[in-house]
């Protein structure tokens, strides 16, 4: 799939740039909508990134209104229009759009740093075929073809672990996720070994929060913090039907602080690695 700019990230960046250009000239969204003769709410949908195929003609019209023309700033205009073209492309993950809850894989593939907290299940980036399949079946999905495609998508996300410019990944996992019984001993051993191998990668750090750590701030549920080179960070909360994205600065700060506390509660990186190796020996 390659770590090129994903359409998901392009759409978010384009939405932010158009909002900034409007605000820079002191124009409200309602005023801009009237000037452009757009339907009520269109400006809001565009500036919140709630679109998939934004017409280039609409982008040109908005840029004309905001004063970014071939005469005033041709370089910026061409760059924004190119961004709009990239935003119209299909992401590598869209071949699974019929089963995908949202566009999270696009953001994940573009992140330069990923911080994850998973108290009850193992992170998708480290799941084996057997573990992923068992989780999907446990969620009540029975159609074997759908299960196969969902596993295929999950494994496709893991390609970023082998790319030359893979992101930095800090993963904190609750011990409950490791001890919960499932499958055969051989399948569980393979899954634990996958974690050991991932933890050995230069860009990956895995830490375990022991059950006997008691109550802590992470018991509210899993979350992922995604950091980007050019774009603001995102917190992703996986819900039952569709993921929730948090972008407010106070939310980013809250979850970043919570993640720091979880890393402090967890076993050290070395002790976590030793724990995983010992667990593999006990299973094997």
Q: What is the DSSP letter of 168?
A: E
Sequence ranges of the domains in the chain = 7-87, 96-283
| Domains 7-87 and 96-283 alike in fold | no
DSSP 172-201: EEEHHHHHS--S-HHHHHHHHHHHHHHHTS
Q: Tell the residue number behind the tokens 């000239």, with chain if given.
A: 25
10 close to 87: Cβ distance less than 8 angstroms: yes
For residue 100, what pLDDT is reported?
Answer: 77
Cα 197 from Cα 186, distance rounded (Å): 16
**CA–CA dist 10, 1 (Å, integer):** 16
Q: Which of 51, 47, 58, 49 is nearest to 81 (CA)?
A: 58
Question: Is residue 2 over pLDDT 70?
Answer: no
pLDDT band per the 50, 70, 90 thresholds, residue 3: very low
pLDDT in tens, 182-209: 999 999 999 999 999 999 999 999 999 9
Q: CA-CA distance, 142 to 144, in Å (whole number)?
A: 6
Residue pair 262/172 in contact (Cβ under 8 Å)? The answer is yes
What dotted CATH number matches 7-87? 1.10.260.40
Predicted confidence at residue 102, as pLDDT, reads 75
pLDDT in tens, 99-112: 777 788 888 988 99
Q: In angstroms, rounded to a whole number, what is the distance separating the alpha carbons of residues 210 and 199?
A: 17
The per-residue pLDDT for range 225-278, each reduced to its tens digit, is 999 988 899 999 987 666 789 999 999 999 999 999 999 999 999 999 999 999
Is 96-283 in CATH node 3.30.870? yes
Residue 121 has pLDDT above 90, yes or no: yes
pTM of the shown model: 0.82
Cα–Cα distance for residue pair 121/222, rounded to 1 Å = 9
């Amino acid at each position: 799939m390659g770590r090129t700019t994903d359409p998901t990230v392009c759409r978010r960046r384009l939405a932010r740039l158009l909002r900034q250009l409007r605000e820079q000239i002191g124009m409200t969204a309602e005023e801009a909508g009237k000037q452009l003769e757009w339907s009520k709410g269109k400006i809001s949908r565009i500036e919140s990134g709630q679109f998939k195929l934004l017409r280039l003609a609409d982008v040109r019209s908005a840029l004309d209104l905001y004063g970014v023309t071939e005469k005033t700033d041709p370089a910026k205009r061409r760059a924004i229009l190119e961004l709009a073209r990239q935003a119209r492309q299909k992401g590598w993950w869209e071949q699974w759009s019929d089963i995908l809850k949202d566009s999270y894989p696009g953001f994940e593939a573009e992140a330069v740093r990923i911080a994850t907290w998973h108290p009850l299940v193992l992170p998708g980036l480290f799941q084996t075929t057997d573990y992923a399949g068992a989780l999907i079946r446990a969620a009540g999905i029975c159609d074997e073809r759908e299960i196969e495609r969902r596993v295929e998508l999950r494994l496709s996300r893991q390609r970023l672990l082998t790319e030359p410019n893979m992101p930095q990944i800090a993963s904190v996992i609750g011990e409950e996720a490791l001890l919960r019984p499932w499958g055969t001993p051989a399948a569980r051993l393979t899954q634990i070994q996958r974690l050991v191998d991932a933890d050995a990668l230069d860009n990956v750090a895995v830490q375990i929060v022991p059950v006997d750590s008691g109550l802590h701030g992470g018991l509210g549920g899993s979350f992922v913090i995604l950091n980007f080179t050019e774009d603001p960070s995102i917190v992703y909360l996986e819900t039952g039907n569709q993921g929730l994205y948090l972008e407010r600065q106070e939310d980013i700060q809250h979850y970043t602080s919570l993640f720091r506390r979880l890393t402090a509660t967890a076993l050290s990186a070395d002790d976590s690695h030793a724990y995983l190796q010992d667990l593999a020996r006990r299973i094997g």
